[in-house]
Structure 1
């Protein structure tokens, strides 16, 4: 199965009303802005999208609306984050019927799988659909690391075409290319190692902070692709304090507060998550003030 995914794919937030009810229109409007800002694809219902907090019905309602709003302009992938393999299979088949362009599949949640259990989960889910599949490898969050030998087994399944690599160990990127060549499209899944990962050969970047600064994110990707190293380094240094927010437990609240400050969304999250308060809130607000005060003029820079 040929896969052409590349570029900057924001892992979008899911927008809620003040009473925590799902706000589909606001989510679609946010995606419209991101497309206007030049992003290359959309990941809905990932970690930042609070997948676990939506009912099955809400997830499908949102996917239908996003599919219609995007209208084929960029690929639409959905996160697959279910507790059981059977539930994941049901969900991917329903998502395929809606017409999404691909799947970003997580291990079964709650229970921490071992290697073979994770391989079995990914294999069964991938074989239950014709859609292209991205494996989300995040041992920090999900307790299992799909190493090279595991990926060797998954490489036998034709529609597993990509990896979201979130080990935080950039050496893994080179190891994957050395073992598999171009068998997989490899995406960086950790914001604060984005430039390093792109320079090591990642095809793209799945990002939370792109929701807040999409033009800067696309510029960073373009600089890396065109080997404009000095421009990339300068932009990355400006971006880094904010990119760090993607790596902490309250990343969803941090990103949604930053979106609200930029007028791109609401900070409302679903309980048990709560909006940031006190020192945590002040940290994000301070970082945003500093970032806006020193924000580079992307339009004046040469982007390939």
Structure 2
């Protein structure tokens, strides 16, 4: 485990105004609330933060505004996935200059790179930026899975600081945990495998649910990872599992979280195209299924 990176990182939503511009005031209030409620870190501009719906210029603008606002109060990871590694490098250099602590990067998507090309993607980015990188395995988003041998080579790169494992299989997480050197942290990336991942040895969680239930997410981490109290952790897990399952199965998880923030007196803002706002029927489902009244 890298001692600089452990615990619950809320992968924060990005509030937009109705006209599509950033709502910085709401973003800062949401982040203040997350920090006040004990999260160990924040991940901005992840998939939950709609990173693919903004331009490179907007990405850099948002990072320049938000990272300095929170970097001295909590650990900050910034999503920087793009198809072209040159674009990733440009974004990561800005992330580094603004004082964030790591950048999260998927393999190149859509082109379905071969395993040696995935390794080269990370090697090039780390060589060009000399900045801590989160190697992100998410076959559902990238369209390709990082294989064991490729992972071993990526784990050996000098700036690989964290692995976010989002394949959805415990076997893959165990494989990564067994291969990871002591200076690399392994994080859960599937919300409804958080308990199992902590019990297996993951030391962190990049969590969607932490947007609306930061205290319970942190309590789960502390119970299983720090206190080694699996029974206590399971009781907390049972409280939040319905909401975790919704976020991993409902096709509009970002909208669900933004709606849930309204229940907390906060503002998740609007989404950007191609996403659409929740219908009345969808809001009723999300409210019933996620059980917001039980989340804290």
TM-score by length of 2: 0.93
Report the CA distance shift for 1:233/1:58 in structure 2 as closer, same or farther (over 3 A): same
- Structure 1: give runs of 5+ residues left out of the alignment: 299-304
The answer for the alignment partner of 2:163 in structure 1 is 163
> How does 1:44-63 map onto structure 2 within 5 Å?
44-63=44-63
Match of residue 203 from structure 1? 203
Q: Which residue of 1 aligns with 2:289?
A: 287
Check conservation: 1:108, 1:118, Cα contact below 8 A: yes
Q: Which residue of 2 aligns with 1:244?
A: 245
**Cα distance 1:181–1:56, how it changes in 2: closer, same or farther (>3 A)?**
closer
Contact 1:8 1:205 in 2 (8 A): yes
2 CA distance for matches of 1:207 and 1:79?
14
> How many residues align structurally?
294
Contact kept? 2:68, 2:98, Cα under 8 Å: no
- Quote the Cα distance in structure 2 between the aligned partners of 1:110 and 1:207: 25
CA distance in 2, matches of 1:132, 1:51: 19
Residue of structure 2 in register with 1:92 after alignment: 92
1:26 alignment partner in structure 2: 26
Structure 2 distance, partners of 1:71, 1:159, is 20
Cα distance in 2 for residues equivalent to 1:103 and 1:57: 17
What corresponds to 1:302 in structure 2?
none
Root-mean-square deviation (Å): 1.9
Cα 1:291–1:158 shift into 2, 3 Å: same
SS at match of 2:48: coil
Give 3-state SS (helix, strand or coil) of 2:58's partner. Answer: helix
Per-residue CA shift, 1:38-66, capped at 9, x if unaligned? 00011110000000111222212221222
Q: Quick one: distance in 1 between partners of 2:160 and 2:284?
A: 42
For residues 37-116 of structure 1, the aligned pairs below 5 Å read: 37-116=37-116
Is the contact between residue 84 and residue 109 of structure 1 (CA under 8 Å) also seen in structure 2?
Answer: no
Question: Does structure 2 retain, via aligned residues, the 8 Å contact 1:186–1:203?
Answer: yes
CA–CA separation in structure 2 for the residues paired with 1:84 and 1:152: 23
* Counterparts of 2:83 and 2:176, CA distance in 1: 28
SS in 2 for 1:128: helix
Which residue of the partner structure matches residue 145 of structure 1?
145
After superposing the two structures, state which structure 1 stretch, 247-256 or 216-225, moved more. Answer: 247-256
Q: Within 2, Cα distance between the matches of 1:222 and 1:247?
A: 23
Please give the per-residue CA displacement for 1:8-30, whole angstroms capped at 9, x wherever unaligned.
00110001112221112211111
Q: 1:211-242, CA deviations, whole angstroms, 9 ceiling, x for partnerless residues?
A: 01101111111111212222211111110111
The 1:194–1:90 alpha-carbon spacing in structure 2 relative to 1, beyond 3 Å, is same
Correspondence 1:174 to 2:174: yes
Q: How far is 1:190 from its partner?
A: 0.5
Residues 2, 185 of structure 2: 8 Å contact kept: no
Greater RCO, CA 8 A, separation 6+: 2
Q: Which runs of 4+ in 1 moved over 3 A?
A: none
Partner SS state of residue 112, structure 1? coil
Alpha-carbon offset, residue 109 of structure 1: 3.2
Distance 2:147 2:253 in 1: 26
Deviation of the 1:189 alpha carbon: 0.3
Q: Distance in 1 between matches of 2:71 and 2:207?
A: 22
- Rounded Cα–Cα distance in structure 2 between residues aligned with 1:252 and 1:114: 30
268-277 vs 90-99, greater mean Cα deviation: 90-99
